[in-house]
Amino acid sequence: MRVAQISPLYESVPPQGYGGTERVVSWLSEALVAAGHRVTLFASADSETSGELVPCAPRALRLDPEAGDPIAAHILMLERAFQRSEDFDVIHAHVDYLAFPFARHAKCPVVTTLHGRLDLPCLQPVFREFREQRLVSISDAQRTPLPWAKWEATIHHGLPADLYRFSPKTDGYLAFLGRISPEKRVDRAIEIAVRAGRKLLVAAKIDAADRAYYEREIRALLEHPLVDYIGEVGDADKNEFLGRADAVLFPIDWPEPFGLIMIEAFACGTPVIAWPEGSVPEVIEPGVNGFLCEDIDSAVRAVEELEAIDRARCRKRFEKRFTSERMARDYVAVYERLLA
């Protein structure tokens, strides 16, 4: 099958640091190629793929001080991709609703995976105008605000089974990985660790939009002797960071569409302590690969109960539910339905 994958340009595929959507696009593309499909990837020029790369920006926009208007770059990429729609059996877009006007005139089926939150009122008119567009959600919770949309499937993310090594032993710390932003609630993670008397390693990036929040709310918290802020970590260091942790803290305060960090932790055998927002209850099996907590008190109790988690069983559940091979099979089933 000839499949075009259209990635956001904000990060390379795969990203050099933090970046969820582009990382999933990479894992999916590689799994499709491994399964014998012909993949054409539209992405930034610093991307890597086993398929055909069509460079649509000199480098990842987030890392390019001369990038200019990001929407302009994405519009040019979409025009290039859809001009070639006769070359593909399916076009698979990962750029939210930006591809919708182009998809209406494509010469092959188009499906869009939505990677962000959909509960913002401003999105309703866009999706109603383009309600014929075929969509994939990354969790059942994500699609709740748009029950009338043309949903083809819910497909949970997956990552390569051999990307992370199972770690049976830990170094006794708790871990937080992600962005320092109001919805990720690193402040909750710090409070949980301090009240539990456990060391917390914080690996996180700070976007320009969140700099004021960091300075106002978080910077002083990171000075606690139990907290060690180590900055952003890339793929090369993530296995060690996640695998040596007793647990990953994921105390989010927003309707998380998926939460990639959870399955990255599971791949290492590391359980996750999380708030049951958005997709989280679909991903975490309490007592098997983590705990669901409603408040700080229950999260502290969960830290005290971590020894009840079998890390080997946590890894096995990952292998069954969250590999990129499974994800690719699910997407191929969607592609085949569209072609039929």
What domain range is 103 assigned to?
A: 2-160+323-339
Helix (H) or strand (E) holding 178: strand 173-179
As a whole number, mean pLDDT of residues 282-311 equals: 97
Task: Specify if 165 maps to a domain.
Answer: no
**pLDDT number for residue 17:** 67
Give residue-wise pLDDT tens across range 59-108: 999 888 888 899 999 999 999 999 999 999 999 999 999 999 999 999 99
**Same domain, yes or no: 102 and 209:** no
Per-residue model confidence as pLDDT tens digits over 209-241: 999 999 999 999 999 999 999 988 877 789 999
pLDDT confidence of residue 18: 65
Where are the strands (E) in 206-318, listed by range? 227-229, 245-250, 272-274, 290-292
Q: Are residues 15 and 44 in the same domain?
A: yes
What integer pLDDT is reported at residue 64 of this predicted model?
83
Q: What is the pLDDT of residue 312?
A: 98
Is residue 97, in this structure, part of any structural domain at all?
Answer: yes
Residues 26 and 136 in one domain: yes
Q: How many domains does the chain have?
A: 2
Tell me: do 306 and 328 sit in the same domain.
no
Pairing outcome for strands 90-93 and 52-55 = unpaired
Pair 105, 177 in one domain: no
Res 207 pLDDT > 90: no
Provide the CATH number for the domain around residue 285: 3.40.50.2000
Mean pLDDT value across residues 331-340: 97
Instruction: Kindly state whether residues 21 and 153 are assigned to the same domain.
Output: yes
What confidence score (pLDDT) does residue 108 get? Answer: 97
Q: 166 lies in a domain?
A: no
Q: Is residue 167 part of a domain?
A: no
Shared-domain flag, residues 22 and 105: yes
For residues 203 and 300, membership in a common domain is answered with yes
DSSP 8-state class, residue 4 = E
**Is 80 exceeded by the pLDDT of residue 144?**
yes
3-state secondary structure of 131: coil
The answer to whether 158 touches 323, Cβ cutoff 8 Å, is yes
Query: What is the predicted pLDDT for the residue at 94?
Result: 98
Residue 335: pLDDT over 80: yes
CA distances from 191 to 75, 187, 217, 243, 248 (A): 43, 6, 13, 22, 14
Distance CA 137, CA 151 (A): 7
Average pLDDT estimate for 149-157: 98
Mean of per-residue pLDDT scores for the chain: 96
Co-location of 148 and 187 in the same domain: no
Angstrom distance (rounded) from CA 141 to CA 279 = 5
Within this chain, do residues 123 and 147 fall inside the same structural domain, yes or no? yes
Do the domain assignments include residue 65? yes
Domain assignment of residue 168, yes or no: no
Shared domain for 125 and 213, answered yes or no, is no
Length of the chain in terms of residues written: 340
Q: Which two tokens stand for residue 70?
A: 């990001």
- Split at pLDDT 50, 70, 90, the class of 188 is very high
What distance lies between CA 294 and its chain's CA centroid? 23
Check whether residue 327 and residue 289 sit in a common domain: no
* Least confident span in 207-216, 277-286, 290-299: 207-216
More confidently predicted of 337 and 208: 337
Tokens describing residue 148 = 């009338």
